[in-house]
Amino acid sequence: MMSELELLSQVRCFEGEQRQYRHVSKRLGCSMQLSVYLPPQAQTQKVPALYWLSGLTCNDQNFSTKAGAQRVAAELGVALVMPDTSPRGEGVPDDPEGHWDFGLGAGFYLNATQAPWSEHYQMYDYVVEELPALLQAHLPLSELQSISGHSMGGHGALVIALRNPGRYRSVSAFAPIVHPSACPWGQKAFSRYLGEDPERWKAWDSVELLRQGAELLPALIDQGLADNFLEQELRTPDWQAACQARGLEVPVRYREGYDHSYYFIASFIEEHLRFHAQHLLQ
């Protein structure tokens, strides 16, 4: 099996290159695809990277084709790294009932502890440890990195940043699932991946991590007020309350009329990229 990066495609984009790779992940026990945008500055020097974590049902290409982020990334000299949302392939278990909010495309960026999920669903270790080491060894990426995401990926970005404050310079999210222990999507996933004890869920919940005193990096959250998932699944006010209880600045911007779609992301991705560049390029 291949242990390094296999280039599947590359196209010119804003004088940089949009690429897609495949490799075998030892941590996930399967072949994985990912997308990377290298800005033009990467032709002559190592550049910092923004890791983007996508949401439920997505793969590595949703953000690269829908968000329109490459133009600003090229201007700023920041690479974009877009992993898949779960392990995939023969032998990787899926929701036995075929639901879209669990299993394939819904890894929730945690390390599963319960069979049969624990064999492959180790997305936290993959994103935090395995993938950066692989990419920094084979691509012109520096050790400077920030992290962002949408919905389930916003959950992943916040949790990863809170658990690893020295590893990332900044974190942002669009419509993140901030309190998965208290919403149907999260409760379904956590009970299967982690077991039925809610105490075990707290280590993978950004609101609970804040309540436990986790360090908050420079952060930015955008949330649409026309998002159908806001009240039941996303629970943004819970994040605000957790910040306020600790006297922290609440980095949430509510956007009137915006929903949960990539139109929302495309509308404000430039602001997020410039926010991260302030911390990656200082």
Domains of the chain: residue spans and CATH: 6-280 (3.40.50.1820)
272 is catalytic: no
Considering 222, 227, 238, 276, which one is annotated as catalytic?
A: 227
- For the chain, give the percent of residues with pLDDT over 90: 97
Report the SS3 class of residue 239. helix
Cα 201 to chain centroid, rounded = 18
Q: What are phi and psi of 250, to 5 degrees?
A: -95, 105
Which residue of the set 86, 148, 151, 206 is catalytic?
A: 151
* Alpha carbon separation from 138 to 18, 45, 129, 244, 260 (Å, rounded): 16, 13, 15, 42, 35
- Tokens at residue 179, please? 């309190």
User: CA 182, CA 207: separation in Å to the nearest integer?
Assistant: 10
Residue 276 a catalytic site member: no
**What per-residue confidence (pLDDT) applies to 259?**
98
Q: What is the mean pLDDT of the chain?
A: 97
Give the DSSP per-residue string, 89-125: STT----TT--TTSBTTB-TTSB--STTGGGT-BHHH
- What pLDDT score does 165 carry? 87
Question: According to the model, what pLDDT value does residue 258 have?
Answer: 98
- What is the Cα–Cα distance from 128 to 123, expressed in whole angstroms? 8
- Tokens 């599947």, located at residue: 8
Phi-psi region of 235 (alpha: psi -120 to 50; beta: other; left: phi over 0): left
**Which SS3 state, helix, strand or coil, does residue 157 take?**
helix
Catalytic residue list contains 151: yes
Choose the catalytic residue: 155, 260, 272, 276.
260
Helices (H) and strands (E) in the chain, counts: 9, 9
- Write down the pTM of the prediction: 0.97
Q: For the chain, which residues score pLDDT lower than 50?
A: 1-2
pLDDT digits (tens, 9 = 90+) for 156-213: 999 999 999 899 999 999 999 999 999 999 999 999 999 999 999 999 999 999 999 9
